[in-house]
């Protein structure tokens, strides 16, 4: 007998309102979502449909207006701000469309940053950052600053920075939004490998069907609601093995 897959993330009736009173806007109107360990989910939908809002909630960057968020059995809304920050640092890695790297700082130091916040010593920071850069195919590039790297390479540095803490979940909000098609597919291949070979749960926002095609599950948002949620029968993208 196999046990039920472990629930990693559960959203129940989650709403999010921005602003107050008459100016208030309901960006999420009641989201129920279950994600189990090891999934690779693409979140799709038109601009303004609530994709980034739900990612920010999942990533503990923001809190719901109402509803429940349970992460590995822990009700996140009952945590203090510090406990939420700890959960974020321990379990969640982020990748954004704009890379968000420190400009005057080497790739290696950018990747070390989350470990600095954790209070790890210089030697273990350096070792872990070098390993993370190697994992994204940037061995030997650690001394370059972002300006000396291509967009695709910068996004790899950002992914290495997200991976260096060995997160349970990688949250990526339009990670290929600033990249050309070839570079986008390289990033998607990387996410595919991280999910398939390293078991990292990947949640990714994209509005490009070619990129969503890599994911194993497709979730569509519209006007603050989840419109469809379906498995992708042929994940891995076009031409993927």
CA-to-CA distance for 59 and 47, rounded, in angstroms? 20
CB of 221 to ligand ADP, least distance (A): 6
CB of 171 to Mg ion, least distance (A): 12
Interface ranges with ligand ADP (CB under 6 A): 18-19, 25, 27, 45, 47-53
> Angle, to 10 degrees, between the axis of helix 122-135 and the axis of helix 107-117?
130
CA-to-CA distance for 84 and 76, rounded, in angstroms? 7
Cβ closest to ligand ADP, residue 136 vs residue 170: 170
Cβ closest to ligand ADP, residue 2 vs residue 47: 47
CB of 53 to ligand ADP, least distance (A): 3
DSSP sequence for 111-137: HHHHHHHTT--HHHHHHHHHHHHHHTT
CB of 61 to ligand ADP, least distance (A): 11
110 near Mg ion (CB under 5 A) = no
Binding to Mg ion in span 34-53, by CB under 5 A: 51-52
Q: Any idea of the CA torsion for 185, 186, 190, 192, to the nearest 10 degrees?
A: 20
CB of 52 to ligand ADP, least distance (A): 3
Among Mg ion, ligand ADP, none, what binds residue 5 when CB lies within 5 to 8 Å by partner kind? none
106 near Mg ion (CB under 5 A) = no
Cβ closest to ligand ADP, residue 10 vs residue 52: 52
CB neighbour class for 186 (10 Å; exposed up to 12, middle 13-18, buried from 19): middle
CA-to-CA distance for 231 and 12, rounded, in angstroms? 20
**What does the binding site for Mg ion look like in residue numbers (CB under 5 A)?**
51-52
């Amino acid at each position: 007998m196999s046990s039920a897959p472990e629930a990693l993330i559960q959203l129940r009736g989650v709403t999010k309102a921005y602003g107050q009173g008459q100016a208030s806007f309901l960006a999420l109107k009641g989201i129920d979502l279950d994600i189990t360990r090891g999934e690779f989910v693409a979140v799709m939908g038109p601009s303004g449909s609530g994709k980034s809002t739900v990612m920010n909630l999942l990533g503990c960057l923001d809190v719901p207006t109402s509803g429940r968020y349970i992460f590995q059995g822990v009700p996140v809304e009952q945590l203090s701000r510090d406990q939420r920050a700890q959960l974020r640092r321990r379990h969640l890695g982020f990748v954004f469309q704009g890379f968000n790297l420190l400009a005057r700082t080497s790739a290696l130091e950018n990747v070390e940053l989350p470990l600095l916040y954790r209070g790890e010593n210089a030697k273990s920071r350096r070792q872990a950052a070098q390993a993370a850069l190697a994992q994204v195919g940037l061995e030997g590039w650690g001394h370059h600053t972002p300006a000396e790297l291509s967009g695709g390479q910068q996004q790899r540095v950002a992914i290495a920075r997200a991976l260096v803490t060995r997160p349970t979940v990688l949250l990526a909000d339009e990670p290929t939004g600033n990249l050309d098609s070839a570079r986008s597919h390289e990033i998607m291949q990387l996410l595919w490998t991280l999910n398939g070979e390293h078991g990292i749960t990947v949640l990714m926002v994209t509005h490009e069907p070619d990129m969503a095609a890599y994911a194993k599950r497709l979730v569509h948002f519209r006007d603050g609601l989840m419109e469809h949620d379906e498995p992708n029968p042929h994940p891995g993208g076009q031409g993927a093995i």
